[in-house]
Every structure is written in structure tokens, then in C-alpha cells.
């Protein structure tokens, strides 16, 4: 088993086609096919099956692809970090981000890192908190934003901020950031909610349980973008973290108010693996991310948020 075979394996799995994989790898098709067949012979199991949709990994193939991808990522990271002379920090840092933080965080983060650390290659991965935590445990991301989590034996959590949840509706509802909405008022409206099992849904259900009431749910989804689109289409109100809807409110597409009676909030933390010292590029990106979050909260660009340790 060699690197060329692993690259062929991963590329065929990602493209679903030997033809496309050969183009990306700058190889002729028979060479890619031969590398896959050699792997299958060595392991004694089929790694792909041909379908009308293309090459699909078998169960064994999918397991090997996952491990091969991690191995190739680690080699890329080591290659980027090795440099003959002192100089700017180089390397690769894979950052996990919550979907609800993308609008407020990604543009300034990318700009900050590009200006201050152009030698670092940053890979941004987005998912829900539970998936991001699993990716941290598996080594698929180097650091990640998470919420409502405490340190675990495998992960260290650094508290960053507490962020209020907002009731979100069409502009004609007249919701305002300086006029909180009670859960009793919210319960009078049909609701578009995160799907059961989603971390945000768990948090919202806990708030309703404390208030001894329940929402009038008309539709559920596992996508923040779909939540907002359904509200825009007039299907009902929803509940979202402030950062996830601030841009839409500023653009006049939606209106929103903080939830009150009871208040609903989430704690956003930065998660890092406990095992081993992180690469220098990862340490630098973590430091820049923490600094940027502080700046966004203090400037008001991250609305309805308070930094931990800030008593104001």
C-alpha cells in the first residue's frame, strides 16, 4: 500500500468516477484502475461497486477511504510545517465552525488570517455541534467552535461567549432587538423548528419545558438556511441564535427579538484535543479566532452576546 494508491482511492471515492479521478491526478485511466485493483488484491476485499451513479465505495472501501483521507491530511500538514529556516508560521489548520456563526465570523476570520499569517492554509468545515465534536475526537478537525459543552477526557473546552436566542419572524411582525419577546407570546404563533436531535432543538425544548408550555410546530428541518427560508415564505416564526440571523435583520429581510420569560441562551466554546501539543499553525489560528470573537462581541458585530468573564 503506497501513497499513490491511497490518493487514487480517495479521489475515486470523492468524484465517483475513475475518469474524473484520472483527470485530477493527471494519470491515464488504466493507471488509476490498476492502483485500485492492486489495493483490492492486497486487502482481499472489493473496495468499490459500479452503479448507475458511478463508483460507490463498499462498506470496506468507505472505512479505508476515511482512514486514507486522514493519513493524507496528516502528511500534507507535516509537509507544510517542515521548513528549513525560521520565518512566518506555515502549516495547515482545519477549523470546525457552527453553521449559525458563518455570516458573522467567516469573512473577518479569513481576512485576519490572510493578512497576519499568509503561510497558514486554513480549511473551514461547517456542521452541527454534535458532528463537530465527533470530528474533533476523530482528528478530522484541529479545533472547533461548539456550544453548551464542558471539557471531556479527550477534549479541552475554552468558554468564549454566551449568546441569546432570538425569536425570528417576517418584518411585518415588528420584532425588535431592544424589545424581548416572552415564550408565552411566541407560543401563539406556528413554529418552524430544528429537527428533533439537533442541539439547538434540545436547547429550545428545555426552555419550553421550564416555561411548562409547548410550541405549535408546523414543520421541522435540520438546516438553518431552510429554517430562514421557511420563515420568509410565511410558514411561521422560528428561534435562532443571534449571530445566525443578524445579517438578515440588518438587510430588512427578517425581524427578531431576544427571547425572555424565560431567557434562552447558549454558551459557545472553543474545543481542542487534549492529546499531544497542537501544531504551531493550529495554535496561531486558535489564538486569532479567540481574539476575533472578543473583538466582534465588544464591537456589537456579534449581537446579544457577552464574553465570559465580562460582568457587564
Which CATH number applies to 3-81?
1.10.10.10
Q: What are phi and psi of 69, to 5 degrees?
A: -65, -40
Question: Among the listed ranges 75-84, 138-147, 151-160, 222-231, which one has the minimum average pLDDT value?
Answer: 75-84
Flag whether pLDDT at 238 surpasses 90. yes
Q: Give the Å distances, CA to CA, from 150 to 67, 73, 132, 133, 272.
A: 28, 28, 14, 11, 12
- pLDDT tens track for 272-299: 987 767 888 899 999 999 999 999 999 9
Average pLDDT over residues 233-242: 94
The pLDDT value recorded for residue 234 is: 95
Average pLDDT over residues 235-260: 93
Q: Using CA atoms, how far apart are residues 166 and 305, in angstroms rounded to an integer? A: 11
Quote the DSSP letter at residue 277. Answer: P
What's the pLDDT band for 81 if we cut at 50, 70, 90? low
Average pLDDT over residues 22-35: 88
- pLDDT tens track for 178-217: 899 998 889 899 999 998 878 888 889 988 888 888 899 9
What's the pLDDT band for 312 if we cut at 50, 70, 90? very low
Average pLDDT over residues 11-40: 88
- Which residues touch 68 (CB under 8 Å, ≥6 apart)? 6, 9, 10
Average pLDDT, the chain: 88
Ranked by mean pLDDT, which of 66-70, 72-76, 83-87 comes out on top? 66-70
Flag whether pLDDT at 147 surpasses 90. no
Average pLDDT over residues 233-259: 93
Question: Among the listed ranges 2-6, 43-47, 78-82, 257-261, which one has the minimum average pLDDT value?
Answer: 78-82
Report the residue count for the chain: 312
The pLDDT value recorded for residue 77 is: 65
The pLDDT value recorded for residue 311 is: 46
Nearest to 269 by CA among 93, 94, 98: 98
Helix (H) or strand (E) holding 103: helix 102-116
**Exposed / middle / buried, residue 76 (Cβ in 10 Å: 0-12, 13-18, 19+):** middle
245-271 burial, b at 16+ Cβ within 10 Å, e below that, comes to: bbebbeeeebbbbbbbeeebbbbbbbb
CATH 3.30.300.30: does it fit domain 163-266? no
Identical fold between 3-81 and 163-266: no
Q: Cell 477511504 identifies what position? A: 65
Percent of residues, the chain, with pLDDT higher than 90: 45
The pLDDT value recorded for residue 213 is: 85
Flag whether pLDDT at 99 surpasses 60. yes
Torsion angle of C-alpha atoms 81, 82, 84, 89, degrees rounded to 10: 10
The domain 91-161+267-307 belongs to what CATH superfamily?
A: Periplasmic binding protein-like II (3.40.190.10)
Flag whether pLDDT at 152 surpasses 80. no
The pLDDT value recorded for residue 83 is: 56
Average pLDDT over residues 29-38: 89
- Return the domain boundaries, the chain: 3-81, 91-161+267-307, 163-266
Q: Using CA atoms, how far apart are residues 79 and 290, in angstroms rounded to an integer? A: 26
- Which residues touch 146 (CB under 8 Å, ≥6 apart)? 96, 98, 129, 132, 133, 136, 157, 268, 269, 270, 271
Flag whether pLDDT at 136 surpasses 50. yes
Average pLDDT over residues 25-41: 88
The pLDDT value recorded for residue 82 is: 62
Strand segments (E) across 3-131? 48-51, 54-57, 91-98, 120-127
Residue 218 vs residue 50, higher pLDDT: 218
Average pLDDT over residues 260-276: 86
- pLDDT tens track for 35-57: 899 988 888 899 998 888 788 99
Amino acid at each position: 500500500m503506497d501513497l499513490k494508491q491511497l490518493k487514487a482511492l480517495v479521489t475515486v471515492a470523492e468524484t465517483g468516477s475513475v475518469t474524473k479521478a484520472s483527470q485530477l491526478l493527471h494519470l491515464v485511466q488504466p493507471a488509476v484502475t490498476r492502483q485500485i485493483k492492486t489495493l483490492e488484491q492486497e486487502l482481499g476485499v472489493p473496495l468499490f461497486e459500479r452503479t448507475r451513479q458511478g463508483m460507490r465505495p463498499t462498506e470496506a472501501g468507505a472505512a479505508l477511504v476515511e482512514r486514507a483521507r486522514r493519513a493524507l491530511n496528516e502528511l500534507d500538514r507535516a509537509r507544510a510545517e517542515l521548513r528549513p529556516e525560521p520565518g512566518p508560521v506555515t502549516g495547515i489548520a482545519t477549523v470546525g465552525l457552527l453553521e449559525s456563526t458563518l455570516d458573522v465570523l467567516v469573512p473577518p476570520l479569513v481576512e485576519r488570517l490572510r493578512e497576519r499569517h499568509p503561510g497558514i492554509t486554513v480549511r473551514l468545515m461547517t456542521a452541527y455541534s454534535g458532528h463537530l465534536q465527533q470530528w474533533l475526537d476523530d482528528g478530522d478537525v484541529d479545533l472547533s467552535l461548539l456550544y453548551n459543552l464542558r471539557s471531556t477526557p479527550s477534549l479541552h473546552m475554552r468558554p468564549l461567549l454566551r449568546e441569546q436566542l432570538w425569536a425570528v419572524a417576517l418584518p411585518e411582525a415588528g420584532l425588535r432587538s431592544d424589545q424581548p419577546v416572552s415564550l408565552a407570546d411566541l407560543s401563539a404563533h406556528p413554529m418552524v423548528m430544528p429537527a428533533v436531535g439537533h442541539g439547538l432543538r434540545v436547547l429550545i425544548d428545555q426552555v419550553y419545558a421550564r416555561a411548562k408550555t409547548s410550541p405549535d410546530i408546523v414543520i421541522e428541518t435540520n438546516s438553518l438556511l431552510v429554517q430562514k427560508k421557511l420563515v420568509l415564505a410565511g410558514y411561521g416564526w422560528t428561534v435562532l441564535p443571534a449571530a445566525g440571523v443578524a445579517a438578515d435583520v440588518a438587510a430588512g429581510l427578517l425581524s427578531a427579538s431576544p427571547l425572555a420569560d424565560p431567557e434562552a441562551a447558549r454558551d459557545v466554546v472553543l474545543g481542542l484535543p487534549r492529546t499531544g501539543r497542537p501544531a504551531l499553525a493550529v495554535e496561531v489560528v486558535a489564538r486569532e479566532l479567540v481574539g476575533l470573537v472578543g473583538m466582534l462581541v465588544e464591537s456589537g458585530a456579534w449581537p446579544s452576546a457577552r464574553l465570559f468573564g465580562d460582568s457587564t
